[in-house]
A and B are shown apart, each in its own frame.
Chain A
Amino acid sequence: MARTPDRQIEHLLRRAGFGARPDELDLYGQMSVDEIVDSLVEFQSQTDDVDGKIGKPGYVGTTTRGVFSPNSNITDARQRWLFRMVHSDRPLQEKMALFWHDHFATGYTKIAGALGATEGTRYMAAKPSEDAGGVRGQLHLFRDMALGNFRDLLTAIAKDAAMLVWLDGRTNFKAKPQENFAREIMELFTMGVGNYTEQDVYAGARVFTGWNLQRPGSAADGSQHYEFFYSAAQHDTDAKTFNFAIYPDGGRTIPARSAAAGMQDGVDLIAALVANPNTARYLAKKLFRFFVSEFRDPDESFVNRIAGVFLNTKGDMRRVMREVFLSSEFWEPRSYWARYSWPVEYVVRSLKDIGWTGFSVDAALTPLSNMGQTLFDPPDVSGWPGGPNWISSATMLARMNYASTLAGNQRFNLATASKSSGTTPRAFLSYFMDQIATSQLESGVSAEWMTYLTMTGNWTGTDAQLQAKAAGLVHLIAGSPEYQFQ
């Protein structure tokens, strides 16, 4: 059977996941690239029992305050998601969930401000099987449809309770249409700015009039919850005309319909946005920047090819992503390390590279916020600005300081694991440089690390020295500029 070198597996898993645990390197090392990609995109064939491992020995820890409540407490929801990023055997599912969370960026703070902290967490993160009302939090929508059909996803997001609060669809009534969602579905979710006019925004707002919320269920058993409701009485029944094609024949006008049939307006508009070639290109470019490289403009051939797959399959994201990971552009040497790591990518990969036993993901939450990324709370509807915006003096300090926390926490594990290489500083440094992959080091960097190992006294190789030096060295490596890429 074909085997794949670690270097390629790590590149693939940095992009399609959050780095590679030792067991993942072992597993995927037995397969060819095609087989790995197949396994990643067909993730439904892997069992999903990862949540059952929370709190068990052998896994990264979580910190509970009372009862662990990831469906109703946002801190615990963040911990559960980080846990899954570390330990899920479906790395691409979690990665796509993050991609969609950024794409359809919805902020917990506004939902909680409107509905309270418990309900806010519920609509962002509740697991349907654990919710008395069967609420599927937005994150689970992204997981369920991670590699589904984009039109299904866009339709589901237009009906998502958190989104209906976030972009005010719940108050989109015919007397005074609400433009917030209509603007962003065109500007950020599909075609991109420049491909629609203000008049299209106004018409779009009218299309989604009546796409509101209702609250069925019983307060007594906890099943009471908000859910999408098409309010025919609140729908604007007049025709709506756009500056781009709505129907395959080029027709630009959604016809006047009865209030009862008016929900079809939104279905028609969503279908038009998904079929619009600008959407396919907008997504193809975004996928290039997130999965292939943000250090060069998207290759035109890549954009054409990926946009073509998207259009031909009518938005089948599984087919699209398979094409991305098998593309020649993805495997070009210049695509390796050609992205700034997002803070969560940095944090989770560091756990996979350095170790997690005895560490709680709770200890990463404040550092993540200092690095500029609080899960479930992107800065605005356009998501995290990303790219070079992740890097500033403050965020570099936050990254270096997180590396310090993790390295200090892992000092005994690290010293034990490196003991057989502890005979000389050179062997010790080689061990850690093998363990923790970085982009090509600038000249002189490894010499400086050597200096660190020897500058405070003679090398003795005692346990005490190895514990201090392992922690200090790992701090320097994980805090180095070259480790901030992926």
Chain B
Amino acid sequence: MKVTRRQFVKGGVAAFTVTFAAPEFLSDLARAQGARSRNLVILNLSGGNDALSMLIPYNDPFYYSRRPTLAVPAGQVLQIGSDASNIALGLHPRLTGLKQIFDQGRLALVQRTGYENQTRSHFLGTDIWSTADPNNSQGFGWVGRYLDSLPSPVDALVGWNATGALPHILLAAHTAVPSIPNPATYAFASPNGGAEATAERSIATRISSHVPVNQPELALVYESAAAAMATLGRVASVATYTPSLTYPNSGLGQALRAVAGAMVRGIGTKVFYVTTGGFDTHSAQNTIAANGAYVNLMATLNDALLAFYNDLRNQGLLEDTLVLSFSEVGRRISENGSQGTDHGAASTMLVMGGRVSGGLYGTAPNLNMDPQNPTLENNAGDVHYETDFRAVYASVIDGWLGADSVKLLNGNFRKASLTFV
């Protein structure tokens, strides 16, 4: 069931094409002259985020009756107004930083995003959100397809995966995205010093620059080694980045610190991928107590995004940046017997950035348990989607990346009411 680079390998592509174009540095001079780059940061909330605990319909009585231990008391939520259906909404109390960004008009919350007949499987769900194709989720990732559409030669650092293994969303036919979980350890070691070490590195570089023909599996290894050797220097420059503030010590915080460093150094990367996990809260979800599981998830998300936002603002790069979140499954409305929530359907996506028109997009579900309730599905057990997730992707592709969403998504999913970009 895993969809991997194997599909790529099996796809009959003869070999990876490794091209090392001159890095597209966006020099300080160019920037001073008004040149901007547009960076996309994909944020994966892995495990299935419980959107009803993040963006809370705090006046809905069913929110409280269906979540006796998980509902956040109305008095604690961070109120952010009402949506188009006049449902009053508030952010989780730990999202104080996101509330600031929302108040500055730079955070968009797109409610009830999903697709028809949503899977409840983590794995199939990840594939679908990655490929943007519910009917055939075995192909290349939509971000990978975007990278493939860029004019060649494509720089080896055009994408930056801040996790250890390449996620499906970055899987591409021609573009190999390096995985750089930690720029500081992204270095070439040698058992020897001096001339011996130099010789080893030069031989390893020479060997890896060769591309095996008609052996895609071997070519993948060669290409990965070559990408490593070709990017060591520029990544090292990111490792020395000193941010304008202290990032939290979480995995997400440190990943976003590296992303900011890559942007500040102007190494030419266009797409970044970061992830934070732990959202599969089947039990002891605890949305309220200090150090409760969901409180900690919100703390990680909030503190990392706020640091990133402020750092980029201080560096004058906020307007170059757009963060887009996704999560592979939604969660059930009613809590289960373990003070947790099982897998559900539609959810809320976050879009943040210096040129984002913030606010509430779409409408919240009404949590009334009437099986005919049109905002719900599965006998009113789950939230029914209102906005196809591909419409959100389309806005980002057309409005931010300047590409053609109809082509990339194999269909017209544009939705005029999504004006956040």
Contact = CB atoms under 8 A, between A and B. Distances in A.
Given A168-B282, A176-B336, A448-B203, 20 more contacts: A168-B340, A171-B340, A172-B337, A179-B343, A201-B120, A382-B1, A386-B2, A389-B5, A391-B221, A393-B176, A393-B178, A394-B164, A397-B228, A407-B191, A408-B192, A445-B210, A448-B206, A456-B195, A472-B191, A475-B200
Interface stretch (A10-18, A29-37, A76-84, A398-406): A398-406
A445 B203 CA distance: 9
Interface in B209-230: 210, 212, 217-218, 220-222, 224-225, 227-228
Interface of B: 1-2, 4-6, 8-10, 47, 120-124, 161, 164-166, 176, 178-181, 185-192, 195-196, 199-200, 203-204, 206-208, 210, 212, 217-218, 220-222, 224-225, 227-228, 231, 280, 282-284, 335-340, 342-343, 378
Contact of A449 (B187, B191, B203): B203
Contacts of B225: 393, 396, 400, 481
A179 B342 contact: yes
B44 to A, nearest CB: 12
Point out which of B120, B122, B123, B189 has the most chain A C-beta atoms below 10 A from its C-beta: B189
A340 interface: yes
A89 interface: no
Contacts of A480: 207
B337 A395 contact: no
Contacts of B203: 448-449, 451-452, 455, 476
A468 interface: yes
A471 B217 contact: no
Contact of A404 (B8, B179, B189, B336): B189
Given A392-B165, A394-B180, A475 B191 contact: yes
A193 B1 contact: yes
B171 to A, nearest CB: 9
A395 B179 contact: yes
Given A407-B191, A448-B207, A177 B337 contact: yes
A401 B224 contact: no
A374 to B, nearest CB: 10
8 contacts: A180-B283, A183-B120, A382-B2, A392-B224, A401-B187, A404-B191, A442-B210, A485-B217
A380 B122 contact: yes
Contact of A392 (B6, B178, B191): B178
B343 A183 contact: yes
A285 to B, nearest CB: 10
Contacts of B343: 179, 183
A484 B4 contact: no
A479 interface: yes
A176 B224 CA distance: 48
A400 B164 CA distance: 15
Contacts of A167: 282
B212 A442 contact: yes
A394 B6 contact: no
B385 to A, nearest CB: 16
Contacts of B9: 295, 388
B204 to A, nearest CB: 6
B164 A370 contact: yes
B258 to A, nearest CB: 12
Contacts of B218: 439, 442, 481-482, 485
Contacts of B187: 397, 401
| Interface SS, A side | helix
A294 interface: yes
Contact of B186 (A372, A386, A397, A484): A397
A370 B228 CA distance: 14
A213 B280 CA distance: 21
Contact of B188 (A114, A177, A392, A397): A397
Interface in A461-486: 468-469, 471-472, 475-476, 479-482, 484-485
A452 B200 contact: yes
Contact of B164 (A372, A387, A456, A476): A372
A291 interface: no
Contacts of A482: 218
A411 interface: yes
Counting contact residues on chain A (CB < 8 A from B), the size range is 35 or more
B5 A393 contact: no
Given A177-B337, A183-B120, A387-B4, A471 B192 contact: yes
Contact of B180 (A389, A393, A411): A393
A394 B186 contact: yes
Contacts of B220: 388, 391
A471 to B, nearest CB: 4
B20 to A, nearest CB: 13
B178 to A, nearest CB: 4
Given A392-B165, A475-B200, A476-B200, A193 B124 contact: yes
A40 to B, nearest CB: 26
Contacts of B224: 391-393, 395-396
Point out which of B208, B227, B338 has the most chain A C-beta atoms below 10 A from its C-beta: B338
Contact of A171 (B210, B231, B283, B378): B283
A362 to B, nearest CB: 17
Contacts of A381: 122
Contacts of B5: 387-389, 391
Contact of B6 (A294, A400, A407, A449): A294
Nearest to B382: A198
A157 B219 CA distance: 39
A134 interface: no
Given A168-B282, A395-B164, A397-B187, A385 B4 contact: yes
Contacts of B120: 183, 198, 201
Point out which of B191, B208, B225 has the most chain A C-beta atoms below 10 A from its C-beta: B191
A123 B253 CA distance: 31
B165 A385 contact: yes
Contacts of A178: 282-283, 336-338, 340, 342
Contacts of B178: 392-394
Contact of B2 (A179, A372, A385): A385
Nearest to A450: B203
Given A173-B337, A177-B336, A388-B4, A472 B186 contact: no
B190 A475 contact: yes
Interface string A138-180: 0000000000000000000000000000011001110111111
A227 interface: no
Nearest to A171: B338
Contact of A400 (B188, B280, B282): B188
Contacts of B161: 392
A57 to B, nearest CB: 24
Contact of B200 (A171, A179, A387, A472): A472
A250 interface: no
Contacts of A298: none
Given A168-B282, A172-B337, A392-B224, A455 B124 contact: no
Contact of B165 (A173, A180, A183, A395): A395
A176 B199 contact: no
Contacts of A114: 284
A388 B217 CA distance: 8
A12 B327 CA distance: 41
Contacts of B280: 380
A180 B282 contact: yes
A183 B206 CA distance: 49
Contacts of A131: none
A382 B4 CA distance: 13
Interface in A1-47: none
B2 A187 contact: no
Nearest to A455: B199
B185 A370 contact: yes
Nearest to A410: B191
A418 to B, nearest CB: 15
A456 B222 contact: no
